[in-house]
Structure 1
Amino acid sequence: MLNVVLPWLDTILYVPNSRLELRFFYKMSVFHDEVEIEDFEYDPETETYRYPCPCGDKFEITKFDLESGHDVAECPSCSLIVRVIYDPEMFAKMESVHVPSAQTLTC
């Protein structure tokens, strides 16, 4: 099992539970701001939303994170985080249903 030690916490996060434990950590954190998803720039190539951070870099959150219900964008260069305001239903994964094409029958 891989352990990740966070220097600013006296906690060890275990990979299988890391998302759950990070959500707990974020609930106890102070957000720099709350930003609507419409204010983020979307990069379709990486499926990542980005928003300017005061440090000069950009907060990032992926489409997969949003589909998973994750609402925290992180800056890769500093410790700031923002809460992303969005409609989870917009990012719910759509299940595709195969519909056979209509074929013309000749007799």
Structure 2
Amino acid sequence: RNEKGETRLHTACINGNLKQVCSLLQKNHPTNVRDFCGWTPLHEAANHGFADIVEALIDHGANVNDRGGEGCGGITPLHDACACGNSDVIRVLLNKGADADLKD
């Protein structure tokens, strides 16, 4: 983990490195791990607009409706994607079962 508590999967998601994400997932890296703020790799991929990574994470067990950790205000990956205007990510999340009715 780095100084923010981010794992290698978090940083690969932030950087949009699909190849590294897939490699880590194939090695059974935990998908729902939180950084020190409470964000998961799926939150990071949704926030940064990487739809292909979002899909890979969900296909490997990431919680599509994760509400973040204790100080995250109940924000789901879908909330993140909507706030950032990431329409491709929004489509993937909804197609993969994101609950559009959850409130933050």
Normalised TM-score (structure 1):
0.26
Q: Larger RCO: Structure 1 or Structure 2 (Cα < 8 Å, ≥ 6 residues apart)? A: 2
- Structure possessing the higher radius of gyration over alpha carbons: 1
Comparing both structures, which one devotes a greater share of its residues to strand?
A: 1
Comparing both structures, which one devotes a greater share of its residues to helix?
A: 2
